A and B are shown apart, each in its own frame.
Chain A
Amino acid sequence: MQIQTTQHDHQIAKLAALAIALHMIEALIPSPIPGVKPGIANIVTLYVLYQFGFASAAWVSILRVFASSLLLGQFLSPTFVLSLSGALCSLGALWLAIMLPKRLFTAVSLSVIAAFAHIAGQLLVVRLWLIPHAGVSYLIPLFAIAALIFGVVNGVITNVILQQTQRGNAG
């Protein structure tokens, strides 16, 4: 039996592979505070969101979470659950945020919103399941400042990539 695949499926698979690679690279970078990561794989999610729409972005994001956790040996571990809840919250926020007028909001807005949604999703799991009291609240401001900085940086990179792509298509 052969599964019929479309050109679009291949495109999504390639981009998901890129996101997984970025996720792997990031896993090697030591972090000063557990849980603070730049989230460079989100650049791919944002790019796909702008180029192919929400459904494709959701595929790339969820595929990345599952495949990366399998590769890192974290599948179904707390790390995986945190990653998944962060990704799902991010996607939910992006689903709403992509409706913002493009004239006023670029990928920077979406990236910052997604980053904050990501930490909110993770903290929800931490609070409800892993550490069911206010102990982590001390770290929340650090997560927030990291989300803001990395959100802006990732958004700017996404903007540049999107501009390059458009220029490439035009020329």
Chain B
Amino acid sequence: MSNLLNRSGAIYRQLRAGDWLIIIFSLAITLLLFQTLWTNEHASKVQVRLGDTVYGTYSLNQNRDIVIEGGIGTSVISIAQGKVRFSKSPCHNQYCVHQGWLVRAGQAAICLPNQISLELIGENKPYDSLNY
């Protein structure tokens, strides 16, 4: 155990100038990614995709359920009080349902088995540069 503690100092010393450069550079990139991709803006619309096409874009200022026939069955998407979620899905793993309510712009829920996805859109799409 004391051997291990002695080594923790050695670990700090074993890093060389280039290592620190790489670590600081990576940290900067990571922080930049957080800043650009995680906005706290509340979403105003939700875009629903079925396969590779846009199924529809809906305002979050309403309470309604959207029923969609996907690849393996019927999914239900619920919009309520500015939030949206998958409330029913025929998929086996139910990842999409367990993801719960989404509120912020840029958040997304994806149901791969049923090929349906939700993406929340704010007033201005926060990552236009990544779309092509």
Contacts and interface: CB of A to CB of B under 8 A. Distances in A.
Given A112-B22, A113-B22, A135 B119 contact: yes
A144 B23 contact: no
B117 A131 contact: yes
A109 B30 contact: no
B117 A156 contact: no
B22 A105 contact: yes
B72 interface: no
A108 B15 contact: yes
Contact of B15 (A101, A106, A141, A144): A106
Per DSSP, chain A at the interface is: helix
A152 interface: yes
Contact of B16 (A34, A103, A160): A103
A133 B11 contact: no
A108 B33 contact: no
Contacts of B52: 132
A28 interface: no
A148 B27 contact: yes
B26 A151 contact: yes
Contacts of B14: 106, 108, 156, 159-160, 163
B19 A134 contact: no
Contacts of B7: 160
B42 to A, nearest CB: 15
Given A108-B22, A112-B23, A156-B14, 8 more contacts: A104-B17, A108-B15, A132-B52, A138-B38, A141-B34, A144-B26, A145-B30, A151-B26
Interface of A: 34, 100-101, 103-106, 108-109, 112-113, 116, 130-138, 140-141, 144-145, 147-148, 151-152, 155-156, 159-160, 163
8 contacts: A108-B14, A109-B19, A109-B21, A113-B22, A130-B112, A131-B112, A131-B117, A159-B11
